[in-house]
Amino acid sequence: MLLLFLQLSISSTAFSYCNVVMFSRGSANSMLFALQNHLQAAKPYIMMWKNTAYGGFEMSVPDKEIVVNKLNQKYGCSLSTISRKQIMYQGESGEKRIVVCTPYSKIHTIGKGWFDLKITQVELLDDADISLLVVRLEDGRFYYVDFKELRKMITLENQIVNSREGKHWKFYIWGNIIQVRGCSDKFLSVSEILIS
């Protein structure tokens, strides 16, 4: 049986891309433990690896606080949680108001992730000078998106209304693509691995 092994490119930048390499289970297990120990010692914010029931490994969802800390450094601000919005943050950089939304998704059996944005979240992002969507996936990847660009694909025509979530939009995410349900256009975004 083969196991996917993520080879991380260590750099001084906040974010780094990853490459996927195939190894046999025995060699991958020992290499993975060595990599995990090395990276956690050198990089305290590195993703945590978890043993799975079938003996493999998976990466946990990137912690939203780590993402927020990186954005604080990048924009020279102090983001704080928006009241009653667990995945939304706001702050100021110079004279500009920043709003960040950090949804997460499992990777489902069809190989895609998906997440919803409620109308209140979209309105908060709309009202900001700088609006950022940082989508976190359970395999350790995340997508850093300028929401104002993605917003062009979010319309009343593809809005979903139901009794559970109310007015909202559903997004599918896989590979380098984010797609709004009901919209044929695809938004390109490169997935990354968070490195402190």
Looking only at the bridges linking them, the beta strands covering 141-146 and 85-93 are unpaired
Alpha carbons 110 and 178: distance in angstroms, whole number: 15
Domains annotated on the chain, with CATH: 2-59 (no CATH), 64-194 (3.40.1350)
Round the CA-based radius of gyration of the chain to a whole number and report it: 18
Please state the rounded mean pLDDT for residues 50-67: 60
Structure tokens at 40: 């956690």
Contact 57, 32 (CB under 8 A): yes
Contact 98, 90 (CB under 8 A): yes
DSSP letters along 169-183, please?
EEEEEETTEEEETT-
Position 194 scores a pLDDT of 63
Alpha carbons 143 and 156: distance in angstroms, whole number: 24
Please state the rounded mean pLDDT for residues 75-101: 95
Alpha carbons 51 and 85: distance in angstroms, whole number: 31
pLDDT (tens digit per residue) in 9-28: 333 333 333 333 333 344 44
pLDDT (tens digit per residue) in 137-188: 988 888 999 999 999 999 999 999 999 989 999 999 988 999 999 999 999 9
